[in-house]
Every structure is written in C-alpha cells, then in structure tokens.
Structure 1
Amino acid sequence: MKLYNSVGPNPHMVRMFMAEKGIEMDMVDVDIRGGENRQPEYVNNVNASGQCPALVMENGDILAEITAICEYLDEKGDGPSLIGDTPEERAETRMWTRRIDLGICEPLGAAFRFGPGLKMFQSRMHTIPSAAGDFAEIAQKKMTWLDEQMAGRDFVCGDRLTMADILLFAFLSFGASFKQGPTEEHKNLTAWMERMKARPSADA
C-alpha cells in the first residue's frame, strides 16, 4: 500500500489512525500549497476530486475520503479495531464520526478556507469570505454541545478509542492553529485533547 500524503487535518487523521494500528507504508508527499493536487497528473491518475490523502490499496485501486480509508485500514491491520468489534460498537463509532464530521470538521474547514486560508483557496473553489465568521461560530457551538456530551467519558465512545476520536483530534488541533480550537470553557474537551496529545500517534 502507498499513501499520497500532505499537510492538513485530513492526512493527519489517516497517519494517526495508521500509527494506532501499527501500519507502515510508503508515502508520496503532495504539495497542496503549490496546487500539485489540482494538476491533471494528480487529478487524472490519483484522485479525481483533487484532494489529499489518497490510498493505493493492496489490489492497486486508489481509495479516497478519510473515513473510507480508515475503515479499510482497520480491516487490513492487526490489533484491536478502532471502529468496533460488534455491530453495536461499529454503529456507535459511525454515528459519532458523522456528528463530528458534519458539526465540527466541515464548518471548521469552511471557516479556514473562507478566512485565514482564503488566499490559497479562492482560485480553487467557490469561497464565501463573508461566511467565515458564521462557520467558525457554528463549529464553536457544536464544540460546546460535544463538551457537554463528553462529561465522564475518556473518549467520544466512552472507554474505547475510536475513529471518531482520531477525526476530532486532527481537526481540533488544526482549528487551534488558527485560534478556532476548544476554549477554556470547554473543560471536558480540553482534558480529552491533553489525553490525546499524550498518545505517541498524535505526532504522526
């Protein structure tokens, strides 16, 4: 297997997932700041959506979208599953992953692309600079909601580390880089962030 890698929260999630599973593979670094991922060679031969990461699977096919990549790696890797061992655990993980993706990751990403990252993205996609603050507020409100849900929990799904935690950590770490991470009011999320930062995989 081989991973087309780059900067940003999406590749970070996959690398962290790989580290937790003990999976190693060759990586090809893609210069997304320079727009390499939007060039015909990458779009036509690697990922038609022009995004990173992308995984070359064992059969040679290329898989994109981070949750799909992580579920594939979960099945291929050894050790405990980061999705779940039972239908109920897998359903719970996917529920929380979906909530986090839609409620926090998507608006947080939009806040960056329309705000601090506007110069990079304005020639690559439809941007709405006037909406950057609104998307940041949406993400913060959902963080407040999630902070309440996290009371008494070690991880998003209770006492087990899952894909939902890894997705959330990658994006909240990214959000903190432009002052859109958890605030001091988010005591449960802040404590959870510290626990996640202490994991060796956090630096993947």
Structure 2
Amino acid sequence: MKFYNSIGPNPRVVKMFMQEKGINIPFVEVDLMQGENRKEPFLSKNPAGQLPALELDDGSVIAEITAICEYLDEKFPGESLIGNTAEERAETRMWTRRVDLNICEPMTSGFRYAEGLALFENRMRCLPEAAAGLKAIAQDKLGWLNGLMEGKEFLAGKRLTLADILLFGFLDFGAVVGQPINPEHKNIVAWFERMKARPSAAASA
C-alpha cells in the first residue's frame, strides 16, 4: 500500500486514525501548494484531485477519508474505531456523518472562500460572499454538539471512534485559520483537550 499525503486536515485525520490503530504505510508526499494534486500523474490515481488517497497492492485507489479509514479498520488488527457490532458501527457512522456535513464542510468552505481564497479561487468555484455564513453554521452546530457532550467522554460515549478523530482534525485546523472553538462551549473544549493529549494527535500533526 501507499498513502498519498499532503498538508491539511483531511490527510491528518487518516494519519491520526492510523496512529491509533498502529498502522504503518509508506507515504508519498504530494505538494498541495504547488497544485500537484491537480495534475498528472496524481489525477490518474484520484480523478477528483483531492487528498489523501490510498493505493492498494493491486494498484487500485481508495479516496475519501471515511472510506479509507473504514477500509484500514477492517484490514488491520486491533481495536476497531468503527465498531464491533452493527449497532456500534451505525452509531459511529451517524456521528461521522453529522460532524462531516454540519461542521467540517462549512468550516472548510468558509476557509477556502476567505483566508484560503488566493489558493483556491483558480482551482474551484469560490463564493466569498458565503464565507461568513458558512463559518457561522459550523459554530452553530458546535454549540448544538456542546450540549450533547455533557457527561460524555467521546461522541459515542465511552468509545473513541472515527467521528472523534474527524472532528478533532478539523477543529485543530480551524484554530489556526481564524475559526477557534468558542470558549463558552466548555464540553467541546474539554473534549478537545482530551483528544489533543493523545499521542496520536502529536504524531499525526
């Protein structure tokens, strides 16, 4: 296998997931800043031009962080970060979906349309007028999640899952691009500090 890596929160999520699972895969670095992901030979690997991507031993390629992490969770031994039962897997996927759609997506688009506009305006359709609203949506949903985290160690209760790793990767990114966690969201702040203290957080940075 080969893991196509770059800067940014998306590859970081998979790297942290691999750290938690004890998985070691050779990395191929792709220069996102120079747009290598939008050119050949990378486009032949992932026509979407996005990172990360996982090339399997037979040459096929899996993209999208949730798909990559679920594949690695099934292929490698150790404690599952998706779930050991149908109920646990459903719960993990529910929270992963909520985090991705309600927080990660608007946060990332808000960055691309504002602070990251110079980098992305020639690579994709950007809507600068939507940046502030998208950032506000992400913060609103964090407030909603904060209330649901009362008394919980992780999003799925006592289980660390992909949903936690996904949320941490993007909130850590948001903190350096003008979208920090509202300190009033004390449950999210406490959860974030617990995640940041995990060895996998530093090892994947």
TM class by shorter chain equals over 0.9
Residue identity (%):
58
Equivalences for 1:101-116 in 2 at 5 Å? 101-116=100-115
Structure 1 partner of 2:78: 79
Distance between the aligned counterparts of 1:58 and 1:21, measured in 2?
A: 20
Structure 2 partner of 1:20: 20
CA RMSD of aligned residues (A): 0.7
Deviating 4+ runs (over 2 angstroms)? none
Letter in 1 for 2:10: N
After TM superposition, give the deviation of residue 4 of structure 1 in Å: 0.3
Matched, 1:148 2:142: no
After TM superposition, give the deviation of residue 41 of structure 1 in Å: 1.9
Letter in 2 for 1:46: K
Distance between the aligned counterparts of 1:201 and 1:181, measured in 2?
A: 21
Distance between the aligned counterparts of 1:52 and 1:72, measured in 2?
A: 16
Structure 2 partner of 1:188: 187
Equivalences for 1:86-97 in 2 at 5 Å? 86-97=85-96
Matched, 1:70 2:58: no
In the alignment, structure 2 segments of 5+ residues that lack a partner are none
Distance between the aligned counterparts of 1:89 and 1:116, measured in 2?
A: 38
Distance between the aligned counterparts of 2:6 and 2:56, measured in 1?
A: 18
Letter in 2 for 1:75: E
Letter in 1 for 2:121: Q
Matched, 1:54 2:49: no
Distance between the aligned counterparts of 1:6 and 1:27, measured in 2?
A: 10
Distance between the aligned counterparts of 2:26 and 2:51, measured in 1?
A: 15
Structure 1 partner of 2:30: 30
In the alignment, structure 1 segments of 5+ residues that lack a partner are none
Distance between the aligned counterparts of 1:181 and 1:57, measured in 2?
A: 36
